[in-house]
Structure 1
Amino acid sequence: MAADEMQKRAELRRAIGELSERGLVQAAKWAAEQLVGLSDADGPSTSGGVSATPSVTTRKSRKKEPSALKGCLSLEESEQTKSEEDVLLLGKVLFDSKEYRRAAHALRECTSKRGTFLRCYATYLAGEKRKEEEIVEVAGPLGKSDVINQDLESLEAELGGRYLQGQLDAFSTYLYGVVLHQREKKAEARKALAISVNAYPWNWSAWLELQELCTKLEDLPTLALEPHWMRDFFHASLALKEQKNEEGLQQYRALAAAFPRSDYVVAQTATAHYNLRQFDEAQELFEQLLKSDPYRVDGLDIYSNILYVKECFSALSYLAHKAVLTDKYRPETCCIIGNYYSLKAQHERAVLYFKRALKLNRNYLSAWTLMGHEFVEMKNTPAAIDAYRRAVDIDPKDYRAWYGLGQTYEILAMPYYALYYYRRATQLRPNDPRMWCAMGQCYENEQLGMQEAAIRCYRRAVSYEDREGIALHKLARLHQQLEQMDEAAHYFRKNLERMEQDQADGRDVVEALVFLAAYCKNQGLLHEAEQYCTKLMDYGAPEKEEAKAILREIRSVQEHGVLSPHMDLESYTP
């Protein structure tokens, strides 16, 4: 086993214990998944008393903090007494039982860093629990409310004082960053979280909290994050959040080399393919994931979106049934069932399950966005707007919600509002042709009539490989309306080539053939015009009759002895 892999294994084994004993179960679960994701080989045991990682206070390369923070991140517990260890055991048992107030009270006299963190964390969670209860009491399970965690102020005062005096370890510094974030002190929160992850990089919860505070990838150098393999996971995750999917995909492929059996890496790679609309690749990876972990629920809502888009009724039904048997009361499960009913056009039942998902987690972004889509289908535009707005309140970078708002206002015949929201969507997904097509159609609106602006949007869509051909067809029509026949012919040809390659059929094919047949006849391209007319003969009236008329004109020209394929018919006089 490579020394690097042995080191990672030792670090993760130690981190799982340290995170678990502090109640950071999600971070501990993530670390455990990466531990088994390394390889099949067994790593060395860390039970022999050898520290898996150097103490934070002995890292010579650590960038010095202000004097008030020196030594604040030490994880040593030498001051902890045996009697305090007994109290810590009681506090942890109460914490695990979700009796947070009792746990905080039991730990009130603890002075160790672990005891301080567990007490403050229990206090924070007790405040969060009470906040959720008050929201339900005041506004209902899905209502808006300005209720806040009443313990944040006291926690900020206590942790802030210790932070400035250098008395917080990495875990308490993480909690201080969470508190600052909720208090809308984002710059201070970002700094505290960066200090925490530099000191103790194995707390994935701290990285996720820091990710929420990063507005763009360009801000990363300002965080002064030190080199560590955990930082690679953070960069890859942030790339997906920022819709830099190609970049994120490359980073996850590199991580897959180091963590070849990591289900998390597989799920994130599948998500990157989904964001890039590479549905077949994403579906294959999710199926691989379910074979590896058949009782997994995390991330399967994205898999259900893929099955929905591909209209895989039986596969989506099977996935919903399996998710219910695994864990019926998970937001992801409710979302999967909602997608199933939406695919069956039972929109009321779909909304019911999306609401159930939100009752389990009111900040579950996918449910708000998907529920907005359902309300649009039900023509309930006020409810759709509310759902989309709730989504962008949770995550201002949710391009699907901005796009949904644009569609909804377009339905309401409010094109200026629609343009604003479409523009937000294109800023978040500048390489997505669907966003540019939507904005182009809005510019075409009768109230605006901005054809030149629409053309620019459609050209952007074409440059980003508009697979559905909407932009090509729209460009051809717009140039035809503006009597720019050469440009119209160019786009009709390109769209016809795309449709023939995809073996498509329908009105768009007929329209392109009719235009090109007439255009080529007028340009003297008689052979090409004949080819288009021959193809038109396979269609019914009136296109078939129009093709016959064009062929008669061509025969008439040829009978007069004018055979040049490049003749100008407008100047021709028999």
Structure 2
Amino acid sequence: MTMRLSPNDSLQLRETLQTAVVKCSERCLYQSAKWAAELLDALPEPDVEAQMSDAPDSHVHPIFAPNPDPVEAALEAQELSRYLLAKSFFDCKEFERCAAVFLPEPLLAGLLGANTNDTATPKGKGKTKASASLSSEYTLPEISQKSMFLALYAKVIAGEKHKDEDTEMIMGPQDSGAVINKQLVVVSRFLTKWFAERKADDGDYPASQGFLEYLYGMVLAKEKNDSLALDYLMQSVHLFPWNWGAWLEITNLVSRVEQLNKVTRHLPQNIMSYIFHANTSISLYQQNPELAGSLKDLLGIFPTSSFLLTCKALLCYHSKDLFAAEQEFNRILALHPHRLDCLDHYSNILYVLNRRPKLAFLAHLCANIDKFRAESCVVIGNYYSLLSLHEKAVQYFRRALTLDRSCLSAWTLMGHEYVELKNTHAAIESYRRAVDVNRRDYRAWYGLGQTYEVLEMHAYALWYYKKAAGLRPWDAKMWQAVGSCLQRMGRDRDGIKALKRALLADSYYDTTTASSFGSAAAVDRMSQMDPEVLLQIATMYDRLDEEEEAKAYMELCLAQEEGAAGADEGGGGALGDSIAIHHDSPSSEAGGGEGAVAGAGGTDGSGTGVTFATSKARMWLARYAMRAEDYATAVRLATELCQDGVEVEEAKALMREARSRMELANLVER
């Protein structure tokens, strides 16, 4: 599907986005307003003459058009002065004062019952009935939906502010993650009553604008009532599709691709659904040519959109094409040099690629723009981590979390740093908090597995590794961790299956990356397998006394020194020629960033060259040749081992023994 907009459609889209910016700003949804404004700015300017000729003489911009609902319009006009007062309080971050303009505490107490923060207990059943009878005497205030949303939203924000104050220091004694937003129950009860009244008699109430559904869905999601939250959020995007915050809440509730496909069928058919589907697919770590094509179509409409360009960069990142991802972030930085959003991902890529000068430049840039943004602190923390200053890195990650406790990157990366500092308890807590923020964060699950493996608690480690592998089923590193853990637990047969899955996984990434983005680097890597994984598989087959299988994988491991040609000659028939995997990709995670570049490889890109794994395989094959009385092969392999510089003394002894047996055999023949 290729998206093309006519001049009239383009003009209509421009007006709709302008209206969205104003409507979201009026309700203090500043992030949604910013998102719509950035998308609007990325829309190419129309031809002024054509626009003037097409526009009717009496055209009034939708921003200035009166509210089409007469009841809402009358209420908004009547309370304009109070609305302006409440909005000024919100802008000055006086959230309680903002809410009290339209919903003072006595009114809420009477409407919802005096003990709004108390939970029902067997002893309190009488109190619950009393509060219900009390609240039935009160009716909901006659205010516009816009003012009601502003007041209730201010309540939620005030509750979040008090929640952060109550938890005190990051990972301190009070920061258990159990502190709740006490205003959620108030807002939830109010909106439950409001929606119940509207459903009871639809004819007496004006049409909903979609924002209160969004707020109710957000509150329900925070209360872990995901199913009902999704229902209200879907209603919200049908009523007003241009509130990006509602789409993000739906994204947070979608945990699987199957669920995304099910939700997509019930979405409104417009460009926002298209953007939502692309963004959610990326958050679910999907990589395929269709997704790349969707982003290409969207960028055809919004060519300079920082959001869509970031999606494209993250798609490259998740596809392990880090060089392409770096180029995309370079382009975003050139187009939007003062934008800090998602630069923490860029710093992760620079960390993995070991781009120290670039990461230093990015850290200085972020500090100069706004040193008190969570993204800036993450970038600086990654820079200190690259310098191996792990305590300093932890300091900046904690600072990022002080500014924004929902900063996923900071929780995960702080866990990495604590692993480096050998503080396993703090590492586990950091990873657990990252999972609480986003259960789709495979890095946190993987980090938990690594930490428990350090503690030699392999059963726990295996469970967390499997969670990570479930989120990234085509990531070889996840399956390699599962296989290695099973190997340590003595479950060789299961370990072999997992490691074979790891070999197949990287070929998927290589082929999808190459087909989606036309990356020559990805194509070059497609003919190589990881010798470490092949050695592990061969070793487990050897322990299972399946020598022929072990020999086949040892030969395949040895063949990786010369790449594809060596694999063909080396008789790597255990997997067949259909498997094409590159060596340990630069996305392997270690340290305080998202990973460290894996080491040795062939300088010409055609093979790994001599590695510890291939030398171990060569030694095993030499001993196998001795057992099979193939002394010529044993001598050749032992000679190569002496050249490798690995286990030289043992290789020399093996060579002497093989030659003596050859001489003895010759004497016997004579």
TM-score (norm 2): 0.74
Question: What code does the residue aligned with 1:123 have?
Answer: K
Aligned counterparts, 1:5-154, within 5 A: 5-41=10-46, 44=51, 48-51=59-62, 77-80=72-75, 82-108=77-103, 111-136=143-168, 143-154=175-186
Range with bigger deviation, 348-357 or 116-125: 116-125
Q: Is 1:297 aligned to 2:404, yes or no?
A: no
Q: Match for 1:490 among 523, 531, 552?
A: 552
* Equivalence map 1:52-451=2 (5 Å): 77-80=72-75, 82-108=77-103, 111-136=143-168, 143-164=175-196, 165=198, 167=205, 168-220=208-260, 221-222=262-263, 224-246=266-288, 248-445=291-488, 448-451=489-492
Which of the numbers 498, 509, 513 marks the counterpart of 2:618? 513
CA contact (8 A) 1:159 1:176 kept: yes
Cα displacement (A) at 1:200: 0.7
Alpha-carbon distance between aligned partners in 2 of 1:387 and 1:79, rounded to the nearest angstrom: 51
d(CA) in 2 for partners of 1:182, 1:537: 64
The CA deviation at 1:537 is 5.1
Q: CA deviation at 1:225?
A: 1.3
Query: Quick one: distance in 1 between partners of 2:342 and 2:354?
Result: 19
Once the two structures are overlaid, the 10-residue window that deviates more, 250-259 or 368-377, is 250-259
How much does 1:195 deviate?
Answer: 0.3
Deviations 1:181-228 (A, max 9, x none): 223322221111100001111100011112222232322435721211
Superposed counterparts of 1:546-561, under 5 Å: 548-549=655-656, 552=659
2: CA distance between counterparts of 1:553 and 1:520? 15
Q: CA deviation at 1:78?
A: 2.6
Shift of the 42–11 alpha-carbon distance from structure 1 to 2, 3 Å rule, reads farther
Per-residue CA deviation, residues 52-80 of structure 1 (Å, 9 max, x unaligned), is: 999999xxxxxxxxxxxxxxxx7984323
Contact 1:335 1:354 in 2 (8 A): yes
Cα contact 1:473–1:492 (8 A) shared by 2: yes
Measure the CA separation in 1 of the matches of 2:173 and 2:14. 42
- How many angstroms apart in 1 are the aligned matches of 2:500 and 2:655? 34
| Preserved contact between residue 177 and residue 433 of structure 2 (Cα < 8 Å) | no
Partner of 1:329: helix, strand, or coil?
coil
Task: Evaluate the alpha carbon distance shift between residue 367 and residue 139 of structure 1 in structure 2; reply closer, same or farther with a 3 A threshold.
Answer: closer
**Aligned residue identity for 1:154:** V
The residue type paired with residue 499 of structure 1 is: E
The farther-off stretch of 377-386 and 44-53 is 44-53
Q: Deviations over 1:345-396 (max 9, x none)?
A: 1111111111111111112111111111111111111111111111112222
Q: Which moved more, 1:322-331 or 1:223-232?
A: 223-232
Classify the secondary structure of the residue corresponding to 2:340.
coil
Aligned to 2:578: none
Given residue 283 of structure 2, which amino acid in structure 1 is its aligned partner?
K
SS in 2 for 1:78: helix
Q: 2:571: which partner in 1?
A: none
Moved more, 90-99 or 434-443: 90-99
- Residue 493 of structure 2 corresponds to 452
Query: 1:150 and 1:414, CA in 2 relative to 1: closer, same or farther beyond 3 A?
Result: closer
User: Which whole-Å CA distance do the structure 2 matches of 1:389 and 1:217 have between them?
Assistant: 24
Cα distance in 2 between the residues matched to 1:404 and 1:204: 31
Equivalent runs, 1:467-482 vs 2, <5 Å:
468-482=530-544
Q: Contact conserved, 1:538 with 1:544, CA < 8 A, in 2?
A: no
Cα 1:486/1:91, change in 2 over 3 Å: same
Residue 27 of structure 1 deviates from its aligned partner by 0.5
Note closer, same or farther for the CA distance 1:138–1:348 as it changes in structure 2 (3 Å cut).
Answer: closer
State the alpha-carbon separation in 2 of the partners of residues 473 and 139 from structure 1.
Answer: 41
- What is the distance in 2 between the residues matched to 1:480 and 1:161? 68
Letter in 1 for 2:552: H
Q: Deviations over 1:22-61 (max 9, x none)?
A: 111100111111112233546859993154999999xxxx
Tell me the CA shift for residue 87 of structure 1.
2.6
In 1, distance between residues paired with 2:444 and 2:343?
20
What displacement does 1:325 show?
Answer: 0.9
Quote the Cα distance in structure 1 between the aligned partners of 2:12 and 2:557.
56
Report the Cα distance in structure 1 between the residues aligned to 2:170 and 2:496, rounded to whole angstroms: 50
Task: Go from structure 1 to structure 2 and tell me whether the alpha carbon gap of 1:523 and 1:153 turns closer, same or farther (over 3 Å shift).
Answer: same
Looking at structure 2, the residues matched to 257 and 493 of structure 1 have their Cα atoms a distance apart, in angstroms, of 49
Distance of aligned partners of 1:302 and 1:222 in 2 relative to their CA distance in 1, 3 Å threshold? closer
Deviation at 1:536, TM superposition (A): 3.9
Residue type matched to 2:268 in 1? E
TM-score, with normalisation over the residues of structure 1? Answer: 0.86
- Whether contact under 8 Å (2:230, 2:250) holds in the other structure is yes
Output the CA distance in 1 between the equivalents of 2:316 and 2:638: 41
Query: SS at the partner of 1:283?
Result: helix
Work out which structure has the larger RCO, using CA pairs closer than 8 Å and 6 or more positions apart in sequence.
2
CA contact (8 A) 2:255 2:440 kept: no
Compared with structure 1, are the counterparts of its residues 356 and 468 closer, same or farther at alpha carbon in structure 2 (3 Å cutoff)? farther
Amino acid at match of 1:280: F
Aligned 8 A contact 2:631 2:659 in 1: no
Q: How far, CA to CA, are the matches of 1:137 and 1:350 in structure 2?
A: 17
SS in 2 for 1:133: helix
Equivalent AA in structure 2 for residue 484 of structure 1: E
In structure 1, distance between residues paired with 2:650 and 2:611? 12
Q: Which residues of structure 1 form unaligned runs of 5+? A: 58-73, 561-571
Alpha-carbon offset, residue 136 of structure 1 = 2.3
Which deviates further from its counterpart, 435-444 or 182-191? 182-191
1:542 is matched with 649
Contact 2:210 2:236 in 1 (8 A): yes
Report the CA distance shift for 1:551/1:462 in structure 2 as closer, same or farther (over 3 A). Answer: same
> Residues 513 and 150 (structure 1 numbering): CA distance in 2 closer, same or farther, change over 3 Å?
closer
8 Å CA contact retained: 1:110, 1:116: no
For the aligned residue pairs, the C-alpha RMSD in angstroms reads 3.3
Q: Which residue identity lines up with residue 80 of structure 2 in the other structure?
A: E
Give 1:517 shift: 4.8
Separation in 1, partners of 2:43, 2:13? 8
- Counterpart Cα distance in 1 of 2:669 and 2:497: 40
CA distance in 1, matches of 2:64, 2:321: 40
**TM-superposed deviation, 1:118:** 1.7
* C-alpha distance 511-145 of structure 1, shift in aligned 2 (>3 A): closer
C-alpha separation in 2, matches of 1:488 and 1:139: 48
* Count of paired positions: 545
In the other structure, the counterpart of 1:567 is: none
Consecutive unaligned residues of structure 2, counting only runs of 5 or more, are: 1-5, 104-140, 508-528, 564-600, 603-608
Q: Which amino acid aligns with 1:179?
A: V
